[in-house]
Amino acid sequence: MTKQLDPWDDASILADRLSNPNANLFVIIGAESWCAKCRELRPQFDELAKRADPSDVWLWLDLEDHVDFIGDYVPDNLPMLVSYRGARFQSCLHVHASLDVMSSSEEKGEAADPGIRARLLQHDWVK
């Protein structure tokens, strides 16, 4: 079973893993305390993360718990999937009901790169 990583506690681990230019990054931005879709999606996300390639990084970022990490970026809708294929920004998509979108389209999503991968590449971003 893969340990669920957190940007607060695992900054160095995340930076090391993402320094591999082939490491994919999948991030869900949600708000489990008040977003019903986020609460429904979380178990699905956790299950996919457990079965994922160990070189990939899967993060769940909560708007309330990770506000200092997310910064000024506020998604138009929740939950929001932000993905990077290797070092390249792939998409930023509103997740409607399931994570099936993760295996589909190669097109860019609804928004520009929120800079999550760039911040995670910094070993000491927390300071």
**CATH for 104:** 3.40.30.10
In a domain, 43, yes or no: yes
- Domain residue limits at 53: 11-120
Residue 109 has pLDDT above 60, yes or no: no
pLDDT tier at 100, thresholds 50, 70, 90 = low
The answer to the question of residue 37 being in a domain is: yes
On whether residue 34 sits in a domain, the answer given is: yes
pLDDT value at position 127?
Answer: 57
pLDDT of residue 62: 92
User: Residue 50 to residues 53, 57, 88, 123, 127: CA-CA distances in angstroms?
Assistant: 9, 11, 23, 24, 29
56-70, 78-92, 99-113: least confident range: 99-113
Q: 3-state DSSP helix/strand/coil percent for the chain, to nearest 5?
A: 30, 20, 50
Which pLDDT band, with edges at 50, 70 and 90, does 2 fall under? low
- The model's pTM is 0.84
Does some domain include residue 2? no
Residue 1 within any structural domain of the chain: no
- Number of domains comprising the chain: 1
pLDDT of residue 29: 94
Q: pLDDT band at residue 106, thresholds of 50, 70 and 90?
A: very low
Q: How many CB atoms are closer than 10 A to CB 61?
A: 21
Q: For residue 125, tell me if it sits in a domain.
A: no
